[in-house]
Structure 1
Amino acid sequence: MAFLSLHGRPVSYRLLGDADKPLLILAHPLGMTQAVWDDMLPALLAQYRIITWDLPGHGASSAWPDTSATIQPEDLAQEALALAALAGAKRFAYAGTSIGGVIGQHLIYQHSHRLEHVTLTNTGAAIGTAEGWQQRADMANEKGLPAMAGDIVPRWFGARACAEQPALVDGWRVQLGRTDARSYALLCEMLGRSDFTGAFKDVTVPPTQLIAGSDDVATPPDALRALAVALGVAEPRVLEGIGHVPSIECPAQLAALLLRSS
C-alpha cells in the first residue's frame, strides 16, 4: 500500500503488476475498501497492471477536507485520473462496483477518450432517491456508522453468503464502523444528486459491459437494464445468487468476465 497526496490529503492506493501490461483501475463500493478486489488480483495480474484505491474517508485514505461541503463525481474521477498519471498511462481499462460504477459513468461522460473498456457492476444511472440518501447521510452524521452497520452490511451480500459466511458480514460491519462518517455522508449526498439517465446521448461510449447480482437489493438487475439503455450497450450479465459485491461473493467468476471484456 502506498499514498498519493491529492489536494493536501493522502490517498491510499496499490499499484501492482508489470509496467508493460495495460492498466486496469478498480473502484470499490461505498462503505468498503480496496480490499474487496483482493481475491481477484492473482487472475487479473496475469493480463493487467492494476490500481486499486480507497475512497475518501475509507480504508487508509484521509477524510474529505472540512473546507469542502460537497463531493462531486468529478472529484472522484480526478482521483482515478491522477492514479493513472502516476502509472504513466494515458488510457486505461476501468471497473467499478456501486459508487465505483457511478465514478465509471462519470468517466464515460466526461473522459471517455481515456478509457479502453469499462465494466460496471451493481450500479445504476440513478441509485435510490435523493431523499433516501439524505436520510442516510443525516443518520451517519448524527448516530455514526457503527450504529448503522448492523442494518447496512447484510444488504451487501446475497442470502447464501450471509448464511454460509457469518464472519464475512461481521468483519465488514467492523470495517464500515471505521469509515469516516462525514466523508460517507458526503458520498451519500453525491449519490442522491447523481443521475446519468440522459447523459450519454452525445458521448462516444467505450466498449462497456454491465454486471448485476440476482439477489442485489440495492441495485437490482432492472437498474442495470435501465443503465444499458442509457449507455446504448448490451443487457447486463446477471449473476445468480449474488448480492451487491460480486468481487467478494464470486471473485473467480467476476475476474473471468473482466478478462473476457478486454
Structure 2
Amino acid sequence: MHKGRTISYRLLGDSAKPLLVLAHPLGMTQGIWDDMLPALLDNFRIITWDLPGHGASSAWPEEAGAIEAQDLAEEALALAEIAGAQTFHFAGTSIGGVIGQQLLSQHPDRLLSATLTNTGPVIGTPDGWLQRSVAVMEQGLEAMAKDIVPRWFGPRACEQQPALIDGWRVQLGRTDKRSYALLCEMLGRCNFTEAFKGKQLPKVNVIAGTDDVATPPSSLEALSSALGAAAPLVWENVGHVPAVECPEKMAELLVKQTA
C-alpha cells in the first residue's frame, strides 16, 4: 500500500546487487520487461511496477485529484525504500521516462544512472492530451485501443510477433479509463526543458527508435539537449517500446551503461 492505494510490484533478485527500477509506458504494464529479466538479473536486483489503474495496481482515488509527475516519482522512491536501497539505477520508457526526468530534477542524488527511452522534455501538446483524456472518458479504452496500440510498435516487430497488437489491445482495454485520462492530462502539463539547469546529474543514457511515431528521435534530441547529455542512441527499425521490440539489445545496453 502507498498512500492508501495498492501498487502491484515485483522485487526480484539478489539483495547484494545494485537495484534497477523499471517504469513502463502509458497503457502498458510491468510485463513489458519480462523478456529482459533473465539477462538483467545476473547484474541487478530489480523492481518493476504497474502505474495507477494499469495491470494489477489500484485505480487513482477520486478524492486524490489530479496525478502529477511527482506522485509517480514518489511511487518509485517508495518501492526503492521497500528494497532497502538509498540509491538505484533507473530505466523508463515514454511516461516511464517522464518519471525518470522527475527523479533527475528533484532527486538526482538518489540515482546511480538513468536510461530514458522514447520520451521527451515535452511530449505532444496540452490540447492533444486533453482531447485524448476527454475521448477516453467518453468512449472507453476498449473502443480506443484499436487506434492507440498500433502506434506503439514498428513494422518489423509487428511482422515478427503477429499477436503483438491484439494482445496489447486486450491489455489496454482492461486499464482503468479515469487513471489513464488523468495520466494523459499530467503529460500535457509536463515540461522539463529547463528543469535540469544547474543540477549535478548522474550518468544519463537516452534512446530513440527510428519507427517511433509518438516520440520520434527529435524528441529525444531535445531531451539530450535539456539534460546536457550525449546525443541519443537511435535504434533502427524500433518503435516506441524497445523492451518489447528488441529486449536483448535493451538489456545489453543497461548492463553495459550502468556498469
- TM-score normalised to structure 1 length: 0.98
Match of 1:155 among 151, 157, 160: 151
**Equivalent position of 2:191 in the other structure:** 195
Alignment partner of 1:136 is 2:132: yes
Q: Percent identity?
A: 66
The one-letter code matched in structure 1 to 2:32 is: V
SS state at 2:64 partner: coil
Alignment partner of 1:54 is 2:50: yes
Match of 1:249 among 237, 242, 245: 245
Alignment partner of 1:102 is 2:98: yes
Q: Give, in whole Å, the separation in 2 of the partners of 1:160 and 1:36.
A: 17
CA deviation after TM superposition for structure 1 residue 206, in Å: 0.9
Cα deviation per residue 1:57-91 (whole Å; 9 max; x = unaligned)? 00000000010220000100000000000000000
Q: Give, in whole Å, the separation in 1 of the partners of 2:141 and 2:198.
A: 40
SS state at 1:119 partner: strand
Q: Give, in whole Å, the separation in 2 of the partners of 1:50 and 1:165.
A: 26
Q: How many residues align?
A: 258
Tell which deviates more after alignment, 154-163 or 14-23: 154-163
**Equivalent position of 1:164 in the other structure:** 160
Match of 1:90 among 62, 86, 92: 86
CA deviation after TM superposition for structure 1 residue 168, in Å: 0.8
Alignment partner of 1:226 is 2:200: no
Cα deviation per residue 1:138-185 (whole Å; 9 max; x = unaligned)? 011111000100000000000112233231100000000000000000
The one-letter code matched in structure 1 to 2:8 is: S
CA deviation after TM superposition for structure 1 residue 10, in Å: 0.5
Q: Give, in whole Å, the separation in 2 of the partners of 1:255 and 1:239.
A: 14
The one-letter code matched in structure 2 to 1:112 is: P
Q: Give, in whole Å, the separation in 2 of the partners of 1:146 and 1:163.
A: 23
Aligned CA-pair RMSD: 0.6
The one-letter code matched in structure 1 to 2:125 is: T
Alignment partner of 1:145 is 2:138: no
**Equivalent position of 1:260 in the other structure:** 256
SS state at 2:180 partner: helix
Q: Give, in whole Å, the separation in 2 of the partners of 1:230 and 1:112.
A: 15
Cα deviation per residue 1:87-137 (whole Å; 9 max; x = unaligned)? 000000000000000000000000001000010000000000000000000
Alignment partner of 1:12 is 2:37: no
- TM-score normalised to structure 2 length: 0.99
Q: Give, in whole Å, the separation in 1 of the partners of 2:192 and 2:34.
A: 29
The one-letter code matched in structure 1 to 2:5 is: R
**Equivalent position of 2:200 in the other structure:** 204
Give the unaligned 5+ runs of structure 1. Answer: none
SS state at 2:112 partner: strand
